[in-house]
Copies of this chain bind each other. A is one copy, B any other.
């Protein structure tokens, strides 16, 4: 089921400082910030040769990463996103195995405009997993 690692998401309290750190200290190629009000984050993409890291800063009152940053004020690794070819088939297989989805269990349109699902971290050893249909 799991395809490529699409991205590793890192929540940060200060996106400008984190971007500067990845660009200047770590010498990585970084994008311009993209403001995604409907997802409650501003994101900068760190482009690596085989995948990308997404630096996420909370945006607005109801950001989905606000609680994480309250627990981890310096920031930290938030989730890992795997590509799947058929998200409905993936969901069926997961539900059969007893794995739980976050939210309604219906795929939502993710930050890249593709259908996504988030799996409950309690079912995957503390790791929040996003599946994205590519």
Contact = CB atoms under 8 A, between A and B. Distances in A.
A69 to B, nearest CB: 9
Contact of A125 (B3, B10, B129): B10
A75 B129 CA distance: 13
Interface residues of A, number: 45
Assembly stoichiometry (copies):
2
B25 A72 contact: no
A34 interface: no
Interface in A1-52: 1-5, 8, 10, 12-14, 17-18, 21-22, 24-28, 46, 48-51
A107 B38 CA distance: 44
A104 interface: no
A76 B127 contact: yes
Interface string A84-118: 00000000011001010000000000000000000
A126 B11 CA distance: 9
A78 to B, nearest CB: 8
A76 B122 CA distance: 10
Given A5-B50, A12-B125, A125-B12, A77 B80 contact: yes
A124 interface: yes
Contact of A51 (B51, B75, B93, B127): B51
